[in-house]
Structures are given as C-alpha cells and as structure tokens.
Amino acid sequence: MVKPFLPSQRFIETEETIVRRVHQNSLPWCNPALRILNWNIAKNNRAAFGSHQRVRSWLSEFAAILERYNPDLIFLQEVRLCAETQHLGELTDMGWNFAPNFIDTYHNCYAGVLTAAKASCLTRKAVKTQHYEPVTQTPKVSLVVEYPFPTSAQTLLTINSHLINFVDLATFKAQLHALEGAIAPHTGAIIFSGDFNTWNRSRWLMLAGMAGRLGLTQAKFPPKDAQNIKRFLLSPPLDHVFYRGLHQNMIHAKVLNHAISSDHKPMIVEFSGEM
C-alpha cells in the first residue's frame, strides 16, 4: 500500500499579507445605523478535516444569520480559505479582507481572520504576533481595517482579533501592547471585536486595562445572552465587542444561542445612527 505524501511541516507561517475582495458596488454607508456580527466559526467548522455535514451546517446557519440580521460589518475568526473549495459564497454582496496567520500544508488552506463590510475600506493592515503558539508554532493575527462613516468627518477603525493562547501572561501582554500601538493613533470611532481568549481573570484584566486606556466601552449583553458566550468552566467570556465614538448609542446586543455549528455563539451588536 502506498502511503500518502505528508509535508515535513504541516503548519507554516505566512508572510504578513492580506487577501482582499473588492465588491464593485461597495459604497460608503448611507444608513448611519450600524449592525455588526462577531463569530469565531471554529475553522469553518473544521471544514478542512472532511466533516462535510458540519460544513453544510455552518453554511446554512451563516446564510440564515445574514438573511435575518443583515449586518453591515462582519468579524469572523478561525476562517479557512482553501484552494479546492470556497466557503464565502454568502459574502458575494460584500467586500472583505482576510489576514492569514498560517498555511495548513496538508489541506492546502490558509487560516486567519476575516472582516467583511458593505462599504469600501480606506486602509487595511495585518498585525501579527512576534511570539508563536506552542502547538502549531505559528503566530496569531489581527486585522485592522478603516472605513468612511456617513455621520462624521472622522473614520471608523475596526480591529478583528484572535488573541494568542497557550502562552504565559507576558506573551499575551505583548500582543495587547502591539494592538494598542496600532489603535492609539486613531482619533475617530473604533470597533474592537473578536475572540480574545480571556479564559482567566488575569488575561481579562489586561484586556480591560487596555480598553480603558483607549477609551473603549464593552458591549453589554442581556444576562441570559451573556451566559451563552463561550467560556471555559467559570472563566470570563472569551468573545467580546468593544467600541468608541458610538457612546450611548448601542441599542441592541444579542447572542444567537440557537447556532450549533461552532462551539462559539454568534454575537450581534447594533448601534443607532448618532455619533
């Protein structure tokens, strides 16, 4: 029996790059209200590992969420873009930016974070960690994308992050420090969203301290919804949405507990039009 070829190194760090899809009809938002979706989709629900039924489940849930909530901005973590298949067909009406942090050479897939929007972006930048996670020996990546906003001469800066895991607090703090440096110069509105891996109090306090220094407010969910945000036992939540420049205008926040295709639940946050 011939053994299948396996690469000598399965996970390889990518160059600091961004894969971009520009939608030809993308325009600045005409409606000043803003609705966002944040979701760690668990590597497209382990799409690269042959679980076709679960992939179909994720695609079905994702399509239903887009139809029901029609978000203006989408922040996804653990996204896989594979050579053989495309799992972003539901984003045909949006432009998106994808920042990979590694290539899975066995399945020929990129993995990383993706930000999609109805508006055309102004700038985009990937912020990779200098340290590696011990299992894959690859860094983590955040995606910083800037958009025009209709109700203000200033712009909206979005940060889609997946924070480093399985490392000590000093390494975790180093990633936060790099992100703070990327965010701090911006004087306009901010949305900072993602899977922050705040599975203990020390990590959460570091993140909260950074948010405080940047003047960010944490999006608050109703108690029943907040219970459904991804945690480890009695840990703080892992997924968060922070914002600035939209103060006192968050009008709705919901966790979609009915979604079962990922072990993280989708989060919907809606803001009114006043900035």
Instruction: Tell whether 5 is covered by a domain.
Output: no
b or e along 192-201 (b: 16 or more beta carbons within 10 Å of the residue's beta carbon)?
bbbbbbbbee
- Size of the chain in residues: 275
Domain count, the chain: 1
Instruction: Tell whether 82 is covered by a domain.
Output: yes
Most confident listed range (24-38, 134-148, 179-193, 236-250): 179-193
Average pLDDT over the chain, rounded to an integer: 84
pLDDT in tens, 117-157: 988 899 999 999 999 988 778 899 999 999 987 666 789 99
* C-alpha–C-alpha distance, residues 23 and 15, integer Å: 25
Q: Which residues pair with 79 in a beta bridge?
A: 112
The angle, 0 to 180 degrees and rounded to 10, between the axes of the packed helices 169-183 and 201-213 is 20
Instruction: Tell whether 2 is covered by a domain.
Output: no
* C-alpha–C-alpha distance, residues 162 and 256, integer Å: 20
Domain range enclosing 159: 11-271
Cα 191-133-80 angle, rounded to 5 deg? 60
Residue type, 34: L
Instruction: Tell whether 62 is covered by a domain.
Output: yes
**């203990």: which residue's tokens?**
200
Query: What 8-state DSSP symbol labels residue 59?
Result: H
Higher pLDDT, 268 or 47: 268
Instruction: Tell whether 166 is covered by a domain.
Output: yes
Res 1: pLDDT: 43
Grouping H, G, I as helix, E, B as strand and the rest as coil, residue 105 is coil
**Residue 203 CB partners (closer than 8 Å, separation 6+):** 169, 172, 196, 197, 236
Instruction: Tell whether 170 is covered by a domain.
Output: yes
Most confident listed range (28-42, 76-90, 172-186): 172-186
Instruction: Tell whether 217 is covered by a domain.
Output: yes
pLDDT in tens, 163-208: 999 999 999 999 999 999 999 999 999 999 999 999 999 999 999 9
CATH number at residue 235: 3.60.10.10
pLDDT, mean of residues 54-71: 86
